[in-house]
Amino acid sequence: MKDERNYSLLPHNTFGIEAVCRRYVEFSSMEEARETAALLRHEDTPFLIIGRGSNLLLTRDFEGIVVRSAIDDITLQPAGDHTLVRVGSGMEWDAFVAWCVEHDLHGAENLSLIPGDVGASAVQNIGAYGAEAADIIYKVEAVRIADGQQVELKAEDCAYGYRQSRFKHEWKNQYLITHVVYRLSSVFVPQLDYGNIRAELQQRGIGQPTAQALRDVIIAIRQQKLPDPQVLGNAGSFFMNPVVGREVFERLQRQFPEMPHYPVDALHEKIPAAWLIDQCGWKGRSLGRAGVHDRQALVLVNRGGASGSEVVTLCHAIQADVRQRFGIEISPEVNIV
Ligand SMILES: Cc1cc2nc3c(=O)[nH]c(=O)nc-3n(C[C@H](O)[C@H](O)[C@H](O)COP(=O)(O)OP(=O)(O)OC[C@H]3O[C@@H](n4cnc5c(N)ncnc54)[C@H](O)[C@@H]3O)c2cc1C
């Protein structure tokens, strides 16, 4: 088990922010996961579970224990016309997607190149291009911190919704996820009706894509649109798209007839936060060493050496402008610690 003191979290957050934790523990087996749970029970100190820190903004040193899974085994179990694939929570998500495509197991292609670990996919219910992790999660295996017991949590019990799960709310800090079991199909049914997947395939002269071709296209689209955290620190979409009630929506639509929107249900509409931010003139602008990406207004970036507080100051300035102009709140999707 890796167990370090006064450990730099710089390599563990995609915003590229320097912060130190008092202790850093990484478990790479079930036994080590149970030992880690015991350590968290016995040490009376705050703790923070991380994956690859790609949805994380550190604003200070962490005076407690940072925990990460490094379990990265993978096993298969046939289940009728599907296959159950049990994957260690510390495996890199995109390495898992690549593995699935190579092994003719389908359902994860549209989630290609999302940064992070397998464990976090089950917490965040990651999603992109019309797919989300909940579509393929069968169950989650974890060690319960309170008593060190190994537990299995069925997908139906995880209350998955848009980027939501119980792990983010009432189960927060209760479990160390050790494995996620996905249910994948040997039949490839491509989902092409989202974003510019079809246009990109057409440009490449591909009519009926293979799983690998679809993965390649998704990767290419993402690389065009999103900054690479290795080059420009960021945590993907910084804000969630606000969902507003009918009355607010109708007022906004009268004021801004060109405003894009998507129905959520009969009473609510979702408005793209990127549009709101762009309308406030923030796209491409900076405040100190933090800024808004010039191609995607939803992505806040570290222009070099920014502190977490500088990013928070920028976040507050954007929220205030959106509030003043549109009378609605946008909330961060990123965990601010
Ligand atoms: C360039 C870029 C593009 C992105 N694009 C997308 C996108 O298209 N769709 C999308 O959904 N997200 C996207 N994201 C956000 C991010 O990739 C996801 O939120 C991802 O799941 C985070 O994984 P992580 O391993 O870095 O988790 P972290 O950010 O480190 O942690 C996320 C959460 O998971 C918990 N957690 C992690 N591991 C465990 C474990 N073993 N046990 C218990 N809890 C755990 C943490 O406590 C935390 O609450 C993007 C991020 C970046 C930087």
* Minimum-distance ligand 1 atom for the alpha carbon of 177: 42
| Residue partners of 1: CB distance under 8 A and separation at least 6 | 25, 26, 27, 28, 32, 35, 36
Judge whether residue 233 has pLDDT over 90: yes
Phi, psi of 147 (to 5 degrees): -140, 5
Q: If you average pLDDT over residues 210-239, what whole number do you get?
A: 96
Q: Please report the pLDDT score of residue 277 as a whole number.
A: 98
For the Cβ of 211 lying below 6 angstroms from any atom of ligand 1, the answer is no
Residues designated catalytic: 163, 237, 333
pLDDT > 90? residue 80: no
Mean pLDDT rounded to a whole number for the chain: 96
pTM to 2 decimal places: 0.95
For atom 27 of ligand 1, the residue with the nearest CA is 51
Ligand 1 close to Cβ of residue 242 (< 6 A):
no
Determine the Cα angle at 56 with ends 321 and 39, to 5°.
Answer: 145
Stretch 277-284: mean pLDDT: 97
For residue 81, report the distance from its CA to the centre of ligand 1, in Å. Answer: 30
Q: Give SS3 for 322.
A: helix
- Please check whether residue 337 is in contact with residue 48, taking contact to mean a CB–CB distance below 8 angstroms: yes
pLDDT reported for residue 81: 85
Average pLDDT for 122-144:
97
- The model's confidence at residue 231, banded by pLDDT at 50, 70 and 90, is very high
Write out 104-171 in H/E/C secondary structure: CCECCHHHCCCCCEHHHHHHHCCEECCEEHHHCEEEEEEEECCCCCEEEEEHHHHCCECCECHHHCCC
Segment 297-315 mean pLDDT: 96
